[in-house]
Structure 1
Amino acid sequence: MIEAILPAGAVAVDTFTTPPDATLFPEEELIVRNSVDKRRQEFTTARWCARQAMAKLGRPPMPVLPGPRGEPQWPNGLVGSITHCAGYRGAVLAEATVVTTVGIDAEPNQALSNGVLPAVSLPDERGRIQTLLREHPEVHWDRLLFSAKESVYKAWFPLTSRWLDFEDADVTIDPLAGTFQAQLMVTGPRLHGRKLTGFSGRWLVDNGLILTAIAVVAPVPATV
């Protein structure tokens, strides 16, 4: 499902069930050996998705261990992102020569709990969300904003190894084009010869889910 909002070169695998052949490498098993069943299933199925995506890229199956902040650590030469929410798991991978960074997120198409929106948004964002809720009530735009910011962080962290707070990106959502723009409120790294000032992303609402994705495509090498 999420492949619909990804560029060419990025491969996606997602599922609404726990595949019976979903297993872990021993070093992954150690990570969740004391986890509750829900956490084990999420972790295992997400890794299954990731390894199916590796196969699509012609790569052998490899373990995907969490880094210091829980971020997936991909095999050399790959970039990727994992997401999961109730009843859904997904992974997106790409060769680093094709896509520089990617971030995805999935959320239920439901309103955020009371008090969450002010904690994850800027005043201008809240004003725009109220307008969207009035004009397009079929989508829970507060949750979509939250999802977009999760995708922003997942795309940002591999480039910087730095935390990014919710208020560090100002997100504007286009309700008709299925896109969003994230303006960074902090100094970004240099990327592809220029300072990174923000991200462009896409969103999709389907099957009761909100899906958001950011994929920064690598520049094509100049030919002589």
Structure 2
Amino acid sequence: MDLKEKIAGEITISENPGYTIKKWREEFNISQMELSKFMNVSPSVISDYEAGRRKSPGSASIKKIVEALIKIDENRGGNVIRRYNSGISSDALLDIKDYDHDISLEYIATKINAKSYSRVDLRRNIRGYTMIDGIKAIIEFSYADYTKLYGWSSQRIIFITQVYYGRSPMIAVRAHPLKPAAVVYIQPNNVDDLAVRISELENIPLLKTDYDYKRISDIMSSLR
């Protein structure tokens, strides 16, 4: 079942369709105003549906609402769509993408102004990347979620935001049987010597970029 079918199905069978519409609108981080403008309807239409003041929408209206949510997210870069297609519902997953060909890690490093912490050779190829919020991932991810981070190939970069001491992400990498091709910290506060040591023991390059993690869309644009 794709995401459109999932959302439409939930709204259709819900005892409170308006609440379900609101839940998905907020999941996509779309305001009532933005949704109504995209659908070319009055904001009161969306508000009335969600508050139960308007008769539950029919199948045609549900289809328009769902398609609007999906299209708005696609126009923003498709982050929510990718998160759900990956099988990870947590918003700790910020972005995930697989490439259809090899790309040099050294080339990617220059594109995002990344510098290496360790003495591990950067001459290797990448087939994709995954970007996660380090704090939320620790709190919310299950063991199975960590496996799903690798998409179609472990030959990928794991980007991590919200890095304070720099130790725990590399400990998690060492403990998990699947290994990434490289790890990049986004604007870390600090990097522990143990993280660098693990990087060298596992032969996994550990890099950092000083891009502001609050503007990770800039990194995403470069990576795409």
Q: TM-score, normalised by structure 1?
A: 0.30
Higher helix share: 2
TM-score normalised by the chain length of structure 2: 0.30
When you count strand as a share of all residues, which structure comes out higher? Answer: 1
